[in-house]
Chain A
Amino acid sequence: MATSYETVIGLEVHAQLLTASKLFCSSSTEFGSTPNSHISPVTLGLPGALPVLNRRAVEMAVRAALALSCTIHERSIFARKNYFYPDLPKGYQVSQYEEPFSTDGHLEFELEGAVRRVGIVRVHMEEDAGKNVHGVGGDSVVDLNRAGVPLIEIVGAPDLRSSGEAAAYMRALRDVLLYIGVNDGNLEEGSLRCDANVSLRPLGQVELGTRCELKNLNSFRFVQKAIDVEVARQTAILDAGGTIEQETRAFHPEFGTTSTLRSKEDAHDYRYFPEPDLPPLVIPPAMIEAQRALVGELPFARRQRWVSELGLTPAAALILSQHPAVARLFEDTLAAYPQPVQVANWIQTEVLRGARSHGTTMEFGVTSGQLAELLGLVEAGTISGKQAKEVFAVIEGTLRSPRAVVSELGLRVVADAGSLRPLCEELIAAHPKEAAAVRAGKRGILGFFVGQVMKRTNKSAEPKLVNDLFAELLGIGPE
């Protein structure tokens, strides 16, 4: 009988911090610039160049660690991780090893209706390497713009048990980092990168199996797919009586396969040692408290509150909470128009259709003030819901007041056939003689009825519409 295995997954996620300058020097971190336009003596690893730590990077790293419920260590040290690679000019990466600035946190998220809590082993700071372009003739070409950009590495505990759970964890982590404004959540541009450690063990066994590390999974779909492929590969080996070799593997999305990058024999010996050029990092309590205040309510907690207190459906709460700008628009609109379900519906249908996101910010066609005013006009009976959508189309992308647009377009409920019909029926019933004359072919008498409606609606009804309505109700057809 085939053995059943339990999958054990731990993710290591690298997130780029949204600073203007690099971790240890004043070169720009801007993405997409021409190659080697953001380089300094520190970036290049020139002899004698000394690193100086970026305060804002430390603050953002602390904020991220707090959002993940980590313990912040007042004193931590940087270490040199030594290896030779063309995109690493110094011959070492400055990272944190034995004494990282934060440890022991967790991340909570929902999966299929249940709450999952996954341990965070540590969050530490480190610098990014350069970028390589391959296949330029017989060469590879190195661009050092990215070298030295500040990253945090978030080491998750091996608490994940399926590829779906791993992808959900990665999404939840992205949402948290985006919310607190330290990362733009952009996997395609590489500002959030994921490596997955995957192992199998027979069901019931406590001891972990031999793991393989999958490198650079740059989309949520790839995280899930790469793990599925790797689990299938390891299962086949174990079922055939083989053993798993500990190694680093690359995922090839175009083929749906993984292949060996480095076997255990080639495993790097990084010879970490304390970075002599950087004194210990001391994080003062005041900085920790200031960052704690900036964490605010996280997406998971917010979703739960919106469902339990505001009566949103879990699906609506999920959509509105995924991006901090959408959550802000929802809550700001609610402050002026406290009808959560209506506001949620409008944002999901009309507003998000034309919204564009750029990292931590998002552009909407309307402000919370415009949206609240528009919904208020519907509630007051000034315009119908259908007319509100017409008004929305007019004000979208402008800062115009919905109320002004309504009066300018003469949009009132009275231009809405549905709301005028009862008044017309009432007038026909009240004036049977005139109605009979119209039915007998005296079309001119229609003007009498239209005049009555105009009088009753303070001339705000649309005459053509009223005329057509009477013609229909009196069975004479349009002119």
Chain B
Amino acid sequence: MGRRRETLAVREVDGRVLDPFATPMTITRQDVLHIARLARLRLEDHEVEGFIGELDRILEYIGLLRELDTTEIPAMSHVVVAESPLRDDTVAPALDRDAVLAEAPRRVGEGFAVPAFVDEG
């Protein structure tokens, strides 16, 4: 985030500092429908309106956080554990296939059956 800040112009208008990166975005109906499609959610019209408001409030909060100057602070992806533990390359017994397939909606032979689809690679 700090890196991006440097590349964006900070303007001064009417004695007020305007940071384009800090300008709150607003969520459109299009945004909600796009996100819903990616998440495979079917939304009713009134739900779309509801999400516009909810997501707007989240962005407002992000806007609030952006007021902090984080130029000198490196981006952080994880908290708590500083370094990934590594395990030895040993094989452990697998789960019982029949027990697992019994939990699946449908099985064909030794596999999970799903509606036919095309491999996209």
Binding site for B on A (CB under 8 A): 19-21, 26-28, 34-41, 44, 52-58, 77, 82, 84-86, 132-144, 195, 215-216, 248, 250, 261-262, 269, 271, 274, 276, 278-282
**Which B residues lie within 8 Å of A40 (CB)?**
92, 94-95
CA–CA, A215 and B87, complex, Å: 33
Q: Is B45 an interface residue (CB 8 A)?
A: no
The answer, among A38, A39, A55, for a CB contact under 8 Å with B88, is: A55
Inter-subunit contact A279/B40 (CB<8 Å): no
Inter-subunit contact A279/B87 (CB<8 Å): no
Inter-subunit contact B108/A136 (CB<8 Å): yes
**Min CB gap A129→B, angstroms:** 10
CA–CA, A137 and B113, complex, Å: 10
Inter-subunit contact B110/A143 (CB<8 Å): yes
Inter-subunit contact B114/A279 (CB<8 Å): no
Contact flags B95-121 to A (C-beta < 8 A → 1, else 0):
101001100001011111111111111
Inter-subunit contact B119/A280 (CB<8 Å): no
Q: Is B38 an interface residue (CB 8 A)?
A: yes
**Which B residues lie within 8 Å of A248 (CB)?**
120-121
User: On chain B, which size bracket covers the interface?
Assistant: 35 or more
**Which B residues lie within 8 Å of A39 (CB)?**
94-95, 97, 100
The answer, among B82, B112, B113, B117, for a CB contact under 8 Å with A280, is: B82
Q: Is B13 an interface residue (CB 8 A)?
A: no
B85's closest neighbor in chain A, by CB?
A: A52
A274's closest neighbor in chain B, by CB?
A: B77
CA–CA, A144 and B77, complex, Å: 29
Inter-subunit contact A276/B78 (CB<8 Å): yes
Inter-subunit contact B91/A28 (CB<8 Å): yes
Q: Is B90 an interface residue (CB 8 A)?
A: yes
CA–CA, A216 and B97, complex, Å: 29
**Min CB gap A324→B, angstroms:** 21
The answer, among B84, B88, B109, for a CB contact under 8 Å with A281, is: B84
A262's closest neighbor in chain B, by CB?
A: B120
A141's closest neighbor in chain B, by CB?
A: B111
Q: Is B81 an interface residue (CB 8 A)?
A: yes
**Which B residues lie within 8 Å of A133 (CB)?**
111
Inter-subunit contact A141/B120 (CB<8 Å): no
Q: Is B12 an interface residue (CB 8 A)?
A: no
CA–CA, A383 and B119, complex, Å: 61
Inter-subunit contact A35/B83 (CB<8 Å): no
Which residues 56-89 of B have a CB within 8 angstroms of A?
Answer: 77-78, 80-89
A52's closest neighbor in chain B, by CB?
A: B87
The answer, among B38, B90, B95, B110, for a CB contact under 8 Å with A34, is: B110
Closest 6 CB pairs of A and B: A215-B121, A26-B92, A141-B111, A56-B89, A274-B77, A55-B86
Inter-subunit contact A282/B84 (CB<8 Å): yes
CA–CA, A369 and B100, complex, Å: 52
CA–CA, A84 and B82, complex, Å: 30
Inter-subunit contact A77/B111 (CB<8 Å): no
**Min CB gap B88→A, angstroms:** 6
**Min CB gap A198→B, angstroms:** 15
Inter-subunit contact B83/A279 (CB<8 Å): yes
**Min CB gap A135→B, angstroms:** 8
Ordered by A's residue number, 29 sampled pairs between the chains whose C-beta atoms are within 8 Å are A26-B87, A27-B91, A28-B91, A35-B110, A36-B97, A36-B111, A37-B94, A38-B94, A39-B100, A44-B100, A52-B85, A55-B89, A56-B89, A134-B119, A135-B116, A136-B108, A139-B113, A139-B114, A140-B116, A141-B113, A141-B114, A195-B121, A261-B120, A279-B78, A279-B81, A279-B85, A280-B77, A280-B78, A282-B82
**Which A residues lie within 8 Å of B118 (CB)?**
134
Inter-subunit contact B121/A250 (CB<8 Å): yes
**Min CB gap A57→B, angstroms:** 7
The answer, among A53, A144, A274, for a CB contact under 8 Å with B87, is: A53
**Min CB gap A54→B, angstroms:** 5
Known A250-B121, A262-B120: A136·B100 in contact at CB below 8 Å: no
Inter-subunit contact B116/A21 (CB<8 Å): no
Question: Which one of B77, B90, B101, B115 has the highest number of Cβ atoms from chain A below 10 Å of its Cβ?
Answer: B77
Inter-subunit contact A54/B86 (CB<8 Å): yes
CA–CA, A342 and B120, complex, Å: 51
**Min CB gap B75→A, angstroms:** 9
**Which B residues lie within 8 Å of A57 (CB)?**
89
**Min CB gap A251→B, angstroms:** 10
A214's closest neighbor in chain B, by CB?
A: B121
Inter-subunit contact B84/A140 (CB<8 Å): no
**Min CB gap B38→A, angstroms:** 6
CA–CA, A274 and B38, complex, Å: 18
**Which A residues lie within 8 Å of B100 (CB)?**
36, 39, 44
**Min CB gap B12→A, angstroms:** 33
**Min CB gap B108→A, angstroms:** 5
The answer, among A55, A141, A274, for a CB contact under 8 Å with B78, is: A274
Inter-subunit contact A282/B83 (CB<8 Å): yes
**Contacts A52-B86, A141-B112, A142-B111 given; 19 further ones with Cβ under 8 A?**
A21-B91, A28-B91, A36-B97, A36-B100, A36-B101, A38-B94, A40-B92, A44-B100, A53-B84, A56-B89, A84-B40, A134-B116, A136-B108, A143-B111, A215-B121, A248-B120, A269-B34, A269-B38, A278-B84
